[in-house]
Amino acid sequence: MQLPFPIAEAPDDHMREAGRLLFAGETDFVKGVVAMAGLPDADRPEVCFAGRSNVGKSTLINALTGRKGLARASNTPGRTQEINFFTAGDSHYIVDLPGYGFANAPIAVVEKWQRLLRAYLAGRQTLRRAFVLVDARHGAKAVDEEIMSLLDRAAVTFQCVMTKTDKVKKDDLDSAMEITRAALAKHPAAYPEIIMTSSEKGEGIETLRAIIAGID
Ligand code: GTP
Ligand code: MG
């Protein structure tokens, strides 16, 4: 029996090439946005990366674009505080969202960006898909389900991406996948396929590039 939420297969040659070409084009930082009024023109398909602070969003964007310093990645959780826009060629926007679930942030700061996040997810016409990143060592947590519920309500399709697979042992991965699949099953906006990635080892990068190239 096929498990619900199977792991995405490697792309065929045609899609792999489409993904390669997309990210071989100019990739640039466009701007960091702190209010809806600051969003760039909604003139092309857009995908965003959401996930807990420190899950590896910025590092994954760097791996996709092949540019190490493009999206800031750091050991300091909560470093990405703005909605950061990048171009992939001239055809797509790639969006790095601030991490959620970080402790120690002042409540006023958290509330301010939650409002912005909600407004962005619900109101961005050209947002085609959200990638919700989940740490492969732990699986989906309550805060991840909160964002999934937000995406359900906003009717934004989201696809789960497991990160840091290089850091997990097989048994731990199996239980993390079980937890994650059970969480996804509760969310109507969940895309029925999971992407396994390691930005460190390059796992899943071609697959993710091809998937983004296929979104228009
Ligand atoms: P915020 O911007 O705070 O929300 O965090 P983020 O989700 O952008 O995480 P970031 O990309 O900054 O990565 C956090 C830490 O995880 C960094 O030290 C990365 O080097 C590390 N990391 C990210 N991806 C991987 C991976 O695939 N494997 C390993 N081993 N480490 C990773
Ligand atoms: Mg970041």
Q: What local confidence, expressed as pLDDT, does residue 212 receive? A: 98
pLDDT of residue 55: 95
HSE-up of residue 172 (Cα within 13 Å, Cβ side): 11
Least confident of 82-86, 158-162, 171-175, 183-187: 82-86
SS3 category, 193:
coil
- If one residue of 48, 59, 109, 198 were mutated to test the ligand 1 pocket, choosing by the most ligand atoms within 8 A of its CB, it would be 59
Q: What is the mean pLDDT of residues 163-192?
A: 97
More confident residue, 67 or 77: 67
Residue 78 three-state SS: coil
Specify the pLDDT at position 147: 92
Mean pLDDT, the chain, as a whole number?
A: 91
Q: What percent of the chain has pLDDT over 70?
A: 93
Say if residue 82's pLDDT is above 90. Answer: no
Separation of CA 44 and ligand 2 centre (Å): 23
Q: How far apart are the C-alpha atoms of 181 and 149, rounded to whole Å?
A: 15
Q: What's the CA gap between 3 and 118, in Å, rounded?
A: 31
**What residue ranges do the domains of the chain occupy?**
13-213
Q: Identity (one letter) of the amino acid at 22?
A: L
- Residue 199 neighbours by CB distance under 10 Å: 22
Q: 163 CB less than 6 Å from ligand 1?
A: yes
What is the tens place of the pLDDT at every residue in 99-127?
877 666 778 877 887 888 889 999 999 99
Is pLDDT above 60 for 52?
yes
- Could you identify the residue written with the tokens 């910025």? 58
Q: Say yes or no to pLDDT of 1 above 60.
A: no
Ligand lying closest to the C-alpha of residue 54: 1
Give the per-residue pLDDT at 214. 97
CATH of the domain spanning 13-213, picked from 3.40.30.10, 3.40.50.300, 3.40.50.10490, 3.90.70.10: 3.40.50.300
State yes or no: pLDDT of 194 exceeds 90. yes
Nearest Cα residue to 47 out of 196, 200, 210, 171: 210
Predicted pLDDT at 108: 80
